[in-house]
């Protein structure tokens, strides 16, 4: 019998409008929702929709500096005054609704993580935008304003729901923001499997953390031209190595869909069925290590129909359903 999966989001995630032609566009969430609705196996008894609360200022400040939050707000306020886009970073525009969207996305990530950590569901998927994993404590970039996964990790720790958190990021881009936030933290292990070399030009295998966090960062660099079977093998080996070093209470998956074949921001060759298999591997390996609590948070993926197909496959795997 399928296990219940929470689909956590907020309408304000669509308030962020980076303008016509920008890859991180509103159609991404629309395509995912349409694809999920079309899968008869993901009815309301399996996929339970939850509208999240917005993240509080306290939750944001566990990760981000006051200066960064003030800067994002200032750029959003400028966009509202001029009724034009304003630019947080060269590739990261904001609109009048971007602060509402960012706080809603962070809130959905928190809600997904906390509900799973409390045992209210076996798994959850936070369907959010803007993405988060390129946001550092003190700056944004790479289409990211706030680091949703990092904010969720700190929230469950602050609530006493999990002490040791494993972040698994398979987005095609290295999670430079997430890595930097937890670089010296032994209680959060960051595993990133990403195209190398590629934007943001961080994430070399020798980057392993520092201080008390030395050894709780692991980067798996996937060379250009790697085919899907080899990438899946690299993912499995990286995950096995991470779990040999770290026993998590909760797993947060930064679920990027830009490793799929044909993504203009990518360059890898996975298919949606590969992401189903990788999710199944993640579930099985983590359960064997004593952790069966997982919440996924949407990151990249810039071909909306492919994003939708990928989200369906990941959610099916989280529910224990076979690949479609």
**β-strand 92-94 against 86-89: which pairing, if any?**
antiparallel
CA angle 277, 5, 10 (to 5 degrees): 115
Catalytic residue among 64, 68, 134, 173: 134
Distance CA 75, CA 82 (A): 11
CA–CA distances in Å: residue 268 to residues 91, 169, 275: 22, 15, 13
In the numeric block, which tokens belong to residue 159? 């609530």
134 is an active site residue: yes
Cβ pair 95, 16 in contact under 8 A: yes
CA angle 248, 254, 260 (to 5 degrees): 130
Task: Look at residue 51 and give its three-state secondary structure.
Answer: strand
Query: Exposed/middle/buried for 208, CB within 10 Å: 0-12, 13-18, 19+?
Result: middle
**β-strand 92-94 against 123-126: which pairing, if any?**
unpaired
CA dihedral 207, 210, 216, 220 (to 10 degrees): 0
CA dihedral 154, 217, 214, 145 (to 10 degrees): -50
Task: List residues with catalytic annotation.
Answer: 134
């Amino acid at each position: 019998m399928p296990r219940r999966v929470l689909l956590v989001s907020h309408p304000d995630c669509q308030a962020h409008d980076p303008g016509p032609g920008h890859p991180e566009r509103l159609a991404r969430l629309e395509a995912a929702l349409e694809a999920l609705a079309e899968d008869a196996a993901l009815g309301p008894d399996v996929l339970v929709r939850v509208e999240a609360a917005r993240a509080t200022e306290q939750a944001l400040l566990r990760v981000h500096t006051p200066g960064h939050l003030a800067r994002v707000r200032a750029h959003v306020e400028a966009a509202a005054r001029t009724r034009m886009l304003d630019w947080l970073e060269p590739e990261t525009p904001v609109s009048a609704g971007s602060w509402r969207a960012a706080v809603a996305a962070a809130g959905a990530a928190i809600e997904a993580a906390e509900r799973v950590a409390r045992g209210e569901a076996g798994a959850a998927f936070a369907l959010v935008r803007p993405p988060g994993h390129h946001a550092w404590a003190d700056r944004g970039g790479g289409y990211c304003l706030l680091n949703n996964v990092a904010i969720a990790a700190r929230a469950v720790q602050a609530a006493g729901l999990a002490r040791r958190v494993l972040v698994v990021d398979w987005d095609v881009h290295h999670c430079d923001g997430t890595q930097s936030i937890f670089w010296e933290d032994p209680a959060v292990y960051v595993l990133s499997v990403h195209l190398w070399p590629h934007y943001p030009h961080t994430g070399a295998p020798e980057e392993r953390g520092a201080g008390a966090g030395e050894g709780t960062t692991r980067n798996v660099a996937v060379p250009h031209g790697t085919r899907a079977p080899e990438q899946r093998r690299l993912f499995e080996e990286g995950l096995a190595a991470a779990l040999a070093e770290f026993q998590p209470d909760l797993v947060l998956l930064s679920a990027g869909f830009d490793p799929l074949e044909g993504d203009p921001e990518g360059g890898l060759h996975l298919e949606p069925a590969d992401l189903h298999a990788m999710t199944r591997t993640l579930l099985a390996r983590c359960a064997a290590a004593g952790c069966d609590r997982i919440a996924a948070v949407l990151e990249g993926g810039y071909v909306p129909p492919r994003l939708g197909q990928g989200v369906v496959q990941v959610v099916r795997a989280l529910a224990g359903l076979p690949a479609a």
